[in-house]
């Protein structure tokens, strides 16, 4: 009598990391893409603001409160975008590593036989 080991099921023994690796990969890709776009837009707006401010003969690097406020205007969005890039990148790399380490597991039910259309249609 053949018995199957308890750890033959996908995700057994590793906390199910391979089961959630693909959703984490997708979330990581989306997060990195959105944060990259956000960072590009914020840097563009920041450059535009500095250009408009300097048209009047003022420098954005002055120590005046107005120049300091303009420099810090998009600071929160920049920090959020950079943190999002780091978190998304870590999620991306981590999920790819888990998928790479667990490749080939969980496919024990495949006997290698492919079905033709006629066999699937019941003809």
Q: Is the dihedral of CA 55, 57, 61, 63 positive or negative?
A: negative
Kindly report, residue by residue over 31-76, the tens digit of the pLDDT: 999 999 999 999 999 889 888 888 888 888 888 888 888 888 889 9
Kindly report, residue by residue over 86-101, the tens digit of the pLDDT: 999 999 999 999 999 9
Residue 91's closest CA among 15, 29, 14? 29
Residue 82 has pLDDT above 70, yes or no: yes
Using the CB atoms, write b or e for 44-69: b if 16+ within 10 Å. eebeeebeebeeeeeebeeeeeebee
CA angle centred on 8, ends 6 and 12, rounded to 5°:
75
- The structure tokens listed for 106 are 């969980």
């Amino acid at each position: 009598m053949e018995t199957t080991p308890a750890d033959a099921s996908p995700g057994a023994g590793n906390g199910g990391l391979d089961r959630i690796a693909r959703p984490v990969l997708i979330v990581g890709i989306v997060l990195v893409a959105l944060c990259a776009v956000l960072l590009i837009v914020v840097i563009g707006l920041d450059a535009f603001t500095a250009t408009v401010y300097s048209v009047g003969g003022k420098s954005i690097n002055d120590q005046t409160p107005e120049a300091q406020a303009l420099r810090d205007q998009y600071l929160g969005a920049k920090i959020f975008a950079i943190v999002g890039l780091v978190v998304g990148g870590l999620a991306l790399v981590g999920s790819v590593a888990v998928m790479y380490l667990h490749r080939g597991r969980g496919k024990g039910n495949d006997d290698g036989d492919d079905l033709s259309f006629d066999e699937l249609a019941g003809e």
